[in-house]
Amino acid sequence: MRTFIALEPPPDFVDELAACSRQLAGAVPGRFMKRATYHVTLAFLGEIDEGEARRAMDALDAACADRPPAPLVPDGLGTFGKSRDATLWLGLARATSLMDLAERVREELDARQIPYHRKAFRPHITLARRARIGRDALPDLAFPTPAKASAVTLFRSFLDETGATYKPLYTVALDGRA
C-alpha cells in the first residue's frame, strides 16, 4: 500500500487555507487540491506491506510521545517544478518544534528499518498541481492565521484520474503528555 505520515491541520486553518486557495484558483490555472487533502508530509513511505505499516504505527507512538502540538505558521508561497507545470504550495515557518518532530519521526522509522523517501523536510501544504505560474502579480492573499496541529497520521494514498484520496490508518495525538 502507498503511504505517508503527515500532520493534520486543524479545521479553522483548513477553512482559511481553502479560502486562500480559491483566491489563487482565480489567478493561476491548475488542478487545485481538495480541502480534505491538506496535510504537512513528515515522511513519504511509498509502498509498504502490512508488517511495515504496523512498525510505522509503533514509530509514530514513539516519535509523538510527550510532543506538544506543532506550530503551523504560513510563510509565503512556493513552487516545485517548472513555471508551466508546477506544484504550488503554502510554505510554513521552520519552527524548531516542527522541524524536531519531522526529524524524530524519521529517526523512529530508521530504528524500525522502514524505508521512506529521504528528501530534506520542507514544511509546506500543497495547494495545486500542474499549476501554470504566469508573470502577472498574484492577488493579495489572506493566508491562514497561525495555528497548531495536534494530530500525526499514517495515511494510505489512493491515486486515480481525478487525483489522490487519503485514508487515515493510524493517528497519534500531540498533547505534550506522557
pLDDT in tens, 146-158: 999 999 999 999 8
pLDDT for the residue numbered 43: 97
**pLDDT level of residue 141 (50, 70, 90 thresholds):** confident
Start-to-end Cα distance in the chain? 31
Q: State the number of CA atoms in the 13 A half-sphere of 95 facing the CB.
A: 17
pLDDT for the residue numbered 178: 44
- The 10 Å CB-count burial string (b at 16+, else e) for 41-59 is bbbebeebeeebbebbbeb
Q: What are the C-alpha distances in Å from 169 to residues 2, 85, 130, 132, 155?
A: 12, 31, 28, 34, 5
pLDDT for the residue numbered 177: 57
Q: What is the DSSP letter of 138?
A: P
Quick check: 47 pLDDT over 50? yes
